[in-house]
Amino acid sequence: MLKFQEAVKHVSGSAPISTCSETLIARRYVLQQKLGRGSFGTVYLVSDKKAKQGEELKVLKEISVGDLKPNETVEANLEAQLLSKLDHPAIVKFYASFVERESFCIITEYCEGRDLDCKIQEYKEAGKIFTESQIIEWFIQLLLGVNYMHERRILHRDLKAKNIFLKNNLLKIGDFGVSRLLMGSCDLATTFTGTPYYMSPEALKHQGYDTKSDIWSLGCILYEMCCLDHAFTGHNFLSIVLKIVEGNTPSLPDKYPSKLNAVLHSMLNKNPSLRPSAAEILKIPYIDEQLQQNVKCKFTNMALKDKTFNCQQEAARIVNAVQKKVHLQTLRELSEVQKMTPRERMRLRKLNAADEKAKKLKQLAEEKYQENLKRMQELRSRNFQQLSIDVLHESDEQTSKHLIQSQPVTALDYISIGHKEPSENETPGRLCMSEPVEHAEKFL
Ligand code: ADP
Ligand code: MG
């Protein structure tokens, strides 16, 4: 709801930056064109006179300081601070922030492909759909970006198709206008922001916002990429809210793999603690496989072929980010596997499965052994205590004092322990009888 209030907020018409089409802004930027208007100000395409060749085009986001309330100025500063810390190929790059002619300005990377919302509308109007591999690729890019943010304890808070930009067909998360740094050890902050379509049930119910709420929004984006429609729709704000809070979890059409649908369902779990984290989703075998094969291949090829886009660097950074996730050994093995015939691959898969099973069995056996060992040790000391207590009854007062000091076990402790596991005591108990007797004899 706040979003709607923000949308009607008066923004000064005499934006000073727009009058500097001929002059340099901050001694290096020249206005090229207006890209649009955001909640806090106007967005321009600028040319950076000090940038390297081919990297001149940037975005200037202008926020008129005069129009901003003090807390909003803080917010703008926070956006700048937040962005300056982030350096990831799936996140819109922040270059600089400064105050010029009563305006707070942020310079970011220019994404020529506009935002994902535009792209979705374009496809919808043309009656097209995104290919499955395209969706997975984009989804993985978003997961890597979100994981990078969350690892740094940063929440986006307003993940939506409109805040995701396209550059050389790569997705980049942008607009951290409503992001917040997580406060200390507390993982929750409770500000009510964003459009309703992507809002999680807990955010709508004011039950706090955490990393899992970003995951919900990302689930909504995944759905939208597949279906070109919002995951939760309605005629008005309230009907959307009701669907999110109480409605059924939407499913992907049958043409999509059930594994992808399962990922979507887990992300749209009404209970945030049951939703997986971005890191966990990246580890799901179905996603991990595509991360290793598709994304890496695609980006490597792109870096080789698409030199005109000057995106080798970009691709190299993505490959780097991906490679961090993929162990070198795994890569080597992967290339070996790719050379194999289907029969050989099947054999390898079976062998791997058998190995996995053997590993699990070994682990189980080890656990059981440790468990038994622990239990035997426990029983040994219990039997010893039991004998000590028996001895107590027959010994003189002096001995009993000595025993109490050396063995601070009360009869009550013994009873409660013995009472808990009466049947389990039998066999191992007999096994370790001799030792406590010896100890007890010392006191006789
Ligand atoms: P809001 O505050 O409403 O989220 P934004 O500041 O995100 O608005 O964007 C306003 C307009 O500028 C939108 O049309 C958006 O597509 C465009 N825009 C914003 N950032 C970029 C960018 N880095 N590259 C290209 N276009 C952008
Ligand atoms: Mg935006």
Q: List the structure tokens of 88.
A: 């990831």
| CA-37 nearest atom, ligand 1 | 10
Name the CATH topology of 1-110.
Phosphorylase Kinase; domain 1 (3.30.200)
The sheet with strand 103-109 has its strands ordered as 29-37, 42-48, 57-64, 103-109, 94-100
Ligand 1 pocket by Cβ (under 6 Å): 35-36, 38-40, 43, 59, 61, 92, 108-111, 114-115, 163, 165, 174-175, 177
Comparing 210 with 346, the larger pLDDT belongs to 210
Most confident segment among 38-52, 177-191, 297-311, 373-387 = 38-52
Q: What pLDDT is recorded for position 279? A: 97
| Residue in 4, 105, 115, 168 to alter for ligand 1 test, most ligand atoms within 8 A of Cβ | 115
Based on the residue annotation, tell me whether 87 is a catalytic residue of this protein. no
407 CA → ligand 2 middle, Å = 69
Most confident segment among 79-83, 256-260, 292-296, 398-402 = 256-260
Q: Indicate which residue's Cα is closest to atom 10 of ligand 1.
A: 38
CATH superfamily placement of domain 125-330: Transferase(Phosphotransferase) domain 1 (1.10.510.10)
- Over the chain, what is the mean pLDDT? 73
Whose atoms come closest to the Cα of 38: which ligand?
Answer: 1
The dihedral built from the CA positions of residue 119, 143, 6 and 78, taken in this order, carries a sign that is negative
Q: Is the pLDDT of residue 265 over 50?
A: yes
| Residue in 5, 43, 159 to alter for ligand 1 test, most ligand atoms within 8 A of Cβ | 43
Question: Pick the catalytic residue: 158, 175, 210, 214?
Answer: 158
How far is 243 from 313, CA to CA, in rounded Å? 43
382 CA → ligand 1 middle, Å = 71
CA 250 to mean position of chain CA atoms: 21
Q: How many helices (H) and strands (E) does the chain have?
A: 18, 9
